[in-house]
Chain A
Amino acid sequence: MTAAHRKLDNLTAFVDSNRLQIDGPVADIKSMEQIGDRFAAFGWHVVEIDGHDIAAIMAALAEARNTQGRPTVIVARTVKGKGVSFMENRVGWHGTAPKPDQVQAAVAELDASGEGGDAE
């Protein structure tokens, strides 16, 4: 409320919306539908994007920079653990370190798909 009331247009927030939490899916625990609408009701400018699309992220940041008189929230829809078959969209990986063999398997999958970047 403060950010919108004070017109803090140099403030940009990201919501990493992966719809999972520790004890289960968000929808089962305390559903948080329409995140963007909630922020809009509080006076924020809302940009909704695919959180895995780098170009979309850059465009959203540019839009935030050009938005006057209100803060911006970028609601990024993501898949938790994207690119690793045994982690994607699975509850249970929050705060859980993968074992060495799991790390190997994960890195192999990421390298194969080209999503891994430099795994040095």
Chain B
Amino acid sequence: MTEMIATRAAYGEALARLGDMNTAVVVLDADLSASTRTVEFAKRHPDRFIQMGIAEQDMMGTAAGLAASGKIAFASTFAVFASGRAFDQVRNAICYSRLNVKICATHAGLTVGEDGASHQSIEDIALMRAVPNMTVVVPSDAVQTAWAVNAAAALDGPVYMRLGRAPVPVIYGEGQEFVLGKAQKLHAGNDVTIVACGIMVSRALAAAGALAEQGIGARVLDMHTIKPLDVDAIRAAATETGAIVTVEEHSIIGGLGGAVCEAVCELHPAPVVRVGVRDQFGKSGKPDELLAAYGLTTDEIARAARQAISMKTATARIV
């Protein structure tokens, strides 16, 4: 039985361990510490934890000030608040000055669940990657989250890390290589490439398994870093497999799908079919029911892969 751990839980643990090792790390939260799991750090390092209350814009401005004073500031709240409510402070205080603030936003996407549309961010990747100086990373499992936390701390500059509420399967083992900006290839194949991020990576792997049974070889890429995108891996996918599917717990507009389309069109045009939320608000429900209702399923990924392959034979070949 595969272990199931929420990326927010892995974040809480990794952040507390980071705090043990690096005294420059300070953590801020906006009244959601029990949910974002920054409470782990707060318990171990109360003198370096700043509870800002329900004031996300104030939190981002304060994080910017702390970073400007030489700290490595981790600021957490829900993704919808981090990217939406506090957007101006993220843009003008943090990114314009290229400050060392790591925005680790939890409860992203539909799997927030019962809180419903107002809290289900399906646009945060789109917003954050459009801001200059921002690195955008979407870890797919607990192990990768811990790597990402350390990589974010080591990177000089702003980071937006997207984390989830719901437990997800562990994919990675200790000791594997992780580099920000370098996609991890999880399944080999040359008929189509499935580029996924976050919770959809494990479903992409399941889809690759189903496609293999139909004799279709699907390459699966875990594109954890949306910005900077691993354009070499995208170019290779386009030239070597000729058809691409993107999968994300996010709108098909402006997120991973948007980023991949931008790269593919410029580097080596190939059909791209985007799987994600189809420009709709979410709704209140159980996480798994929502994923099914909005088509974020293994079956839909496999269907999209077959569609991309069929488009491949219809488009002119660019050699």
What is the interface of chain A, defined by CB distance below 8 A to chain B?
1-2
Contacts and interface: CB of A to CB of B under 8 A. Distances in A.
Interface of B: 52-53, 55, 58, 62
Contacts of A1: 53, 55, 58
Contacts of B62: 2
B97 to A, nearest CB: 20
8 contacts: A1-B53, A1-B55, A1-B58, A2-B52, A2-B53, A2-B55, A2-B58, A2-B62
B68 to A, nearest CB: 15
Given A1-B58, A2-B62, 6 more contacts: A1-B53, A1-B55, A2-B52, A2-B53, A2-B55, A2-B58
Nearest to B52: A2
Chain B interface, >50% SS class:
loop
B223 to A, nearest CB: 38
Contacts of B53: 1-2
Which 3 pairs across A and B sit closest by C-beta, in order of nearness?
A: A2-B58, A2-B52, A2-B62
Contacts of B58: 1-2
A65 B20 CA distance: 37
Contacts of B52: 2
Nearest to B62: A2
B310 to A, nearest CB: 57
A2 B50 CA distance: 11
A1 B58 CA distance: 10
A1 B54 CA distance: 11
B265 to A, nearest CB: 40
Nearest to B58: A2
A2 B55 CA distance: 9
A101 B232 CA distance: 60
A2 B52 CA distance: 7
Nearest to A3: B58
A41 to B, nearest CB: 17
B57 to A, nearest CB: 11
A80 B155 CA distance: 46
A33 to B, nearest CB: 25
Nearest to B61: A2
A91 B93 CA distance: 30
Contacts of A2: 52-53, 55, 58, 62
A50 to B, nearest CB: 31
Nearest to A1: B55
A1 B52 CA distance: 10
A8 to B, nearest CB: 11
A2 B57 CA distance: 12
A1 B62 CA distance: 13
A2 B53 CA distance: 9
A32 B52 CA distance: 27
B173 to A, nearest CB: 43
